[in-house]
Structure 1
């Protein structure tokens, strides 16, 4: 196996038995499955981090504006769908995001 790419190093050997070919194919399929699962896990971890950040921003916005969390979440949901944010919390969510990324 190539450790850089997690791709199996397959050697074609004319003297290899059909059983050995089957083992190599099965191992290759297992590696493909594991690489796919790893990608799914990486996506799940990234998604979880985004959800955590969104939750923290909503909670902090609720605290700073003294508006109940549920009442902050509603306008933020509308903002996500329409692009318009209620005037009483405008600017607050961006404070929780920190400086823009460059």
Structure 2
């Protein structure tokens, strides 16, 4: 589960950074609106498109992080299952060995 903990921390960090950058874009948008009330329609569309593009990038980053996190969890789970199977086989062999010695 150490891998899962590391990946989870990495995912949380990625989300925090992405959310922070999205927050900065929103703040910049609001400052532009306050400072420039007579913004041209072209600039408004351009600004909205840039903000939407940034949001799309953030969503893609989150999706990629979640996919990586899920893959790491599956891999860690498979490793745990293999360890459990190996322990069960070892126990069976030990039981057979003990039974043969009696």
**TM-score class, shorter:** 0.5 to 0.7
Q: Which is greater in Rg?
A: 2
Which residue does the alignment assign to 2:39? 16
Q: Which runs of 4+ in 1 moved over 3 A?
A: none
Answering whether residue 78 of structure 2 is matched by residue 63 of structure 1, we say no
Looking at both structures, which has the greater relative contact order when contacts are Cα pairs under 8 Å and sequence separation is at least 6? 2
Secondary structure of the residue aligned to 1:6 is helix
- How far apart, in 1, do the equivalents of 2:57 and 2:46 lie? 16
**Offset, 1:4:** 7.3
* Number of equivalent positions: 66
Q: Which runs of 5+ in 2 are unaligned?
A: 1-17, 93-102
The TM-score with structure 2 as length reference comes to 0.55
TM-score by length of 1: 0.55
The structural deviation recorded for 1:5 is: 1.4
Q: 1:26: which partner in 2? A: 49
CA-atom RMSD, angstroms? 2.3
Other-structure match for 1:52? 75
Give the Cα separation in 2 of the matches to 1:47 and 1:33.
Answer: 21
